[in-house]
């Protein structure tokens, strides 16, 4: 069973540790597909594809794909069953954006925008194989 992980950026030490532990218990191959140069691992494979991540994933023929629950990863559902990791709620996303607001009008605009974005998050969750 092949699992493909698509990280949102370069792998930091926490991500490497998590992938290493995950790979030790996964009953198959774990492949990380990224546009960033990454160090190879003894327990999982890294595929660096800076141009066309979708084609690289298709060639791997994954049984499942994991990624963060972010709008830029919605397209993964079209390639294979996808499991998204959701780190924050709509409320937390809104609060994080409010930090950059310059007044009440900005805060209202941000809040409405987050409600609109929440529809995308819900659509992604509904189409996914699961959330964690």
CATH (domain of 117):
3.30.160.210
CA-CA distances (angstroms) from residue 128 to 45, 47, 120?
A: 24, 23, 12
Across the range 103-119, mean pLDDT stands at 91
Q: State the pLDDT at residue 56.
A: 92
How far is Cα 38 from Cα 28, in angstroms, rounded to an integer? 21
Number of domains within the chain: 1
- Enter the pTM of the model: 0.84
Across the range 59-84, mean pLDDT stands at 95
Q: State the pLDDT at residue 88.
A: 84
Across the range 6-33, mean pLDDT stands at 93
Across the range 94-98, mean pLDDT stands at 90
Domain that holds residue 10: 2-131
């Amino acid at each position: 069973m092949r699992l493909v992980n698509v990280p949102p950026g370069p792998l930091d030490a926490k991500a490497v540790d998590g992938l290493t532990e995950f790979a030790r218990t996964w009953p198959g191959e774990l492949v990380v597909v990224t546009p960033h140069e990454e160090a190879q691992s003894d327990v999982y494979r890294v595929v660096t594809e800076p141009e066309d991540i979708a084609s690289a994933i298709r060639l791997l023929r994954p049984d499942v794909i994991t990624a963060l629950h972010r709008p830029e990863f919605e397209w993964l559902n079209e390639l294979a069953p996808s499991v998204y990791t959701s780190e924050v709620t709509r409320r937390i996303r809104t609060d994080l954006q409010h930090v950059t607001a310059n007044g009440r009008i900005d805060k209202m605009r941000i809040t409405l925008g987050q409600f609109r974005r929440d529809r995308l998050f819900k659509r992604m969750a509904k189409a996914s194989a699961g959330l964690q």
